[in-house]
Structure 1
Amino acid sequence: MASHPETTTLTASCLCRNVQFTLDVATDILPLKAHLCHCNVCRQTHGAPCSFHAPLPEGISPNFIAPSSLDKLTPYTHATSLSTRFFCSTCGCHIGDRDLDKNKWYISISIFTTNQPRPPNQAIWKINSYAHTHSTKDGGLSSLIPRINGHEVPIWNPDPVPDDVPNTNPSAPDLLAQCHCGGVSFTVSRPRPEFIASPASQGWLHPSDKTKWLTLLDACNSCRLVTGTHIIAWMFIPRDHATPNIPTDLLIGTSKTYESSEGVLRSFCGTCGTTVFYSCADRPDVVDIAMGILRAPEGFLAEEWAFWRTARVGSPEDGRGYDSAFTGGLEEGLREWGVRRDGMVRDFTVGS
């Protein structure tokens, strides 16, 4: 009698837990081979530097845990889509893409319970490549973390795909921010003279360059589970430096909001799912903008606008607890990038 192959059950969930599911995969296909896609669509639907996806073998799909179901997800299919993207209708977390023929899923590796190695020293996934980095113009995350576990991560760039949405005009005074579908759109200005001169700027501008906004990478668990990505980059700006001004309820255009904890409000586009804002009650006049929606002409890293913290990653304990190899590589690579760019690593604590 033929023996059945050993299977492993993987469990995944978004932050609000309205979407929970398992995957039953053959143990011998682990670790799942993941790719980090930097294409415009992935960045501008997640609000993050890239998507973190692993293709599942044909026929394997999420087994939703009741009362969770596919109905708890919002689908997004744009004009040139080859797949449908799905995100939680409540918190905005992307769980992955499904081919339009409905036979194959590309699942987010960032929402599983853990990636801690299984006996015998086997991880659930392995980051195998970066894809479409040319779309970022500056390499995006691949510039910051070229190695994981001491090994170079290969880069795959097929024929370039033209931008399907506009970037900021290089001569424009303000920076365009826009989700993929265009339902959320606004511009960001440089720090204005009256803000620079006021006490309100304390902790929100770096003394060495007051023309740029503080920016950092955050590996916290909550951000991971509302984006469906390992890491997100935030830029900090006062509400009144956006046009239109950012309201306290964070609702612009097609935005939806989710209160992820007491005093913490997050927003995402209700049509395409991109993370847009984070705000908290203890600093009501300043919001975090997801870097994936910024359309800087120089590229994703927006180096003409962003003052990057390169000394450290936000919430490193969360990042190491979830994926120690990725977070360790990011911490090392970020410092190296800072030295290459500035001759030193730069540090700051936001708001102080």
Structure 2
Amino acid sequence: MSTKTLTARCHCGATHFTLTLPTSALPLKTHLCHCTICRTVHGAPAAFHARLPDGVVPAFVSPSNLDKTTGYKHAHATAYRHFCSTCGCHIGDQAENRESWYISVSVLDANANQGVWEIAEHVYTSSTKDGGLSALLPTIAGKEVKVWNPEPGDDALGLAGGTSDDHDTLLAKCHCGGVSFNISRPQREFVESPAGDGWVIRSEPTKWLASLDACTDCRLVTGAHVIGWLFVPSDHISPPLPQNLLVGTSKSYKSSQDVYRTFCGRCGATIFYSESGRPGIVDVAMGILHHKDGFMLDDWAFWRTGRLGWADDGVKYDEGFTRSLTEGLQEWGRRTHGEVRHFEVGVEPVKPKVD
């Protein structure tokens, strides 16, 4: 039987394994799960999962082993969600019987153009309320991405963890609840001060800047092709953040010289990104944000729709996905706001250009 061996590594390299697959099983049929559980476990807009053929399991490369991951299983789950204990990268879900896996294709060292995986379906999009990423990605390379949702009334994967309808407070909470805090609207003093230059649009003073990011580092610390960030001053978060940004069950990971990230050490959700060149500002992972209006938080977020952050990295990894998401993001901007918005995060002052 003809086979193909794939390699996977997280960002820090502590989780390193291979998959040997029959070529007849390729491309791996991949679905994007938008349920609240997946979003609040990853901190990303969706989980990028493919079921491995029966009998195929990760073969860990020494000194890596499954014990270097953390397995998270909530009360109603039928699988363990494994993520790297050092950097937080999700590698996939292992069934309770330990015999079958759903793998995160976002950690594979491969390119979709090589026929390794095919994103074919969005599932549980109703949990997002507004479609989330599926509203931006109806097709990939001209091919429709199907949408599946359970029958009305089946709320098993609905709004787990609760939502907020408070106009002035936005709830951030990972799936296990070990990390939880609130974000406030931009305060007038901040908007009108030099500190607000680069971080708020003065014509939209009640919203925070937001962007989708396809960078390699983010992919390999989340286990997802793309992540959404909301850029927030730390003094607009309550309870007050400690200097090291460690809240509740969170852990810290230094992904590069001046960049620190945090993730929940119990369920693995990405929480914060911070860098030394931007003191007082944190990027909050949008997958852990809860609001009745939906994932895109249109009442809270001023989205950059003109481009993805670090799109070149995304193109190198999965060209069809990244180019289609860029196009879909622009179209969503036109459809939702009547324009495509461009701005540079942190540039003083923010002066968005529109198409």
Normalised by the size of structure 2, how large is the TM-score? 0.95
Aligned to 2:136: 144
Residue of structure 2 in register with 1:158 after alignment: 150
Letter matched to residue 103 of structure 1: E
* Counterpart for residue 348 of structure 1: 343
Q: Hey, what does 2:207 align to over in structure 1? A: 212
User: Which structure 1 residue ranges, 5 or more long, are not aligned?
Assistant: none
Deviations 1:262-294 (A, max 9, x none): 110000000000000000000011000000000
Q: Residue 323 of structure 1: CA displacement?
A: 0.0
Deviates more, 1:205-214 or 1:183-192: 205-214
| Cα displacement (A) at 1:342 | 1.1
Match of 1:98 in 2: 94
Q: Which residue in the other structure is 2:353 paired with?
A: none
Aligned counterpart, 2:351: none
Structure 1 CA distance, aligned partners of 2:37 and 2:131?
Answer: 15
Q: Which residue, out of 168, 174, 177, partners 1:173?
A: 168
Q: Partner residue of 2:223?
A: 228
Gaps spanning 5+ residues in structure 2: where? 348-355
C-alpha distance in 2 between matches for 1:141 and 1:73: 28
- Tell me, in whole angstroms, the C-alpha distance in 1 between the residues paired with 2:262 and 2:212: 18
How many positions carry a matched residue from both structures? 343
Task: Name the Cα RMSD after superposition.
Answer: 0.9
Is residue 235 of structure 2 the alignment partner of residue 249 of structure 1?
no
Moved over 6 A (4+): none
Partner of 1:10: 6
Which stretch shows the higher mean deviation, 261-270 or 109-118? 109-118
Letter paired with 1:318:
D
In structure 2, the partner of 1:263 is: 258
2:103 maps to which of 89, 107, 113? 107
| CA contact 2:29–2:50 (8 Å) conserved in 1 | yes
Q: Structure 2 counterpart of 1:254, which letter?
A: T
> 1:186 matched to which residue of 2?
181
Q: Report the AA paired with residue 308 of structure 2.
A: V
1:24 and 2:34 correspond: no
Q: Distance in 1 between matches of 2:328 and 2:167?
A: 32
Q: Percent identity?
A: 54
> CA deviation digits over 1:178-219, x for unaligned, max 9?
000000000000000111111000000113311100000000
**CA distance, structure 2, for counterparts of residue 220 and residue 248 of structure 1:** 26
CA distance in 1, matches of 2:308, 2:273: 17
TM-score by length of 1: 0.96
Amino acid at match of 1:95: I
Q: Is the 8 A contact 1:239 1:247 kept in 2?
A: no
The answer to whether structure 1 residue 80 and structure 2 residue 76 are counterparts is: yes
